[in-house]
Amino acid sequence: MPSNTFFSVNDVSYHYKNRRGIEHINFQINPGDFVGLIGANGAGKSTLINLITGLIEPHHGSINFTDDFTFNQLGFSSQTLSIDWYLSVFDNVLMGALLAGYKMNIAKHLTEEALKLTELSKYKNQAVDELSGGQQQRVQIARAIVYIAIE
């Protein structure tokens, strides 16, 4: 793995009992990369995420992280909502920064920046159940952004 690579996926395959999963996937992610994973239903997006996060093991190939890797460097937004419905938009995003270990003043700054990036600033004091489905997804994305933000 090149020294500037955050992690690499090397010839990874995974198969389910009744159907194919993914076959011979290869790529690398470098520090600072912002990656979106898109594809048709059933293409293997969730399978690949589950492999990267270690929820399932590949049947073939390997996923290699740098020696100094910690999982707070990896943020993702799942396809099912993972939102605290009793918190405001701001507090949901702030929670991501606090869970990543940032001090409150830095966490608040990162939250404001993530809300700007996701165009949610004007909704920051609203309850998340008052937002559209797409806006709720953006709350999750903002939370993932602050989780992996660099001070």
Query: Given this model, what pLDDT does residue 53 score?
Result: 82
**Boundaries of domain holding 19:** 7-69
Q: Same domain for 19 and 63? A: yes
Q: How many domains in the chain?
A: 2
Q: Is residue 80 a part of any domain in this protein?
A: no
Q: Same domain for 57 and 12? A: yes
Q: CA triplet 145, 77, 63: central angle to 5 degrees?
A: 95
Q: Is residue 103 a part of any domain in this protein?
A: yes
Segment 7-17, tens digit of pLDDT = 899 999 999 88
Q: Is residue 1 a part of any domain in this protein?
A: no
Q: Is residue 74 a part of any domain in this protein?
A: no
Query: What CA–CA distance (Å, rounded) separates 12 from 23?
Result: 6
Q: Same domain for 128 and 100? A: yes
Q: Is residue 32 a part of any domain in this protein?
A: yes
Query: What CA–CA distance (Å, rounded) separates 68 from 145?
Result: 20
Question: Which regions in the chain score pLDDT beneath 70?
Answer: 1-3, 70-81, 149-151
Q: Is residue 83 a part of any domain in this protein?
A: no
Query: Given this model, what pLDDT does residue 85 score?
Result: 85
Domain end among 69, 103, 118: 69
Region class of 30: left (phi > 0), else alpha (psi between -120 and 50), else beta: beta
Q: Is residue 11 a part of any domain in this protein?
A: yes
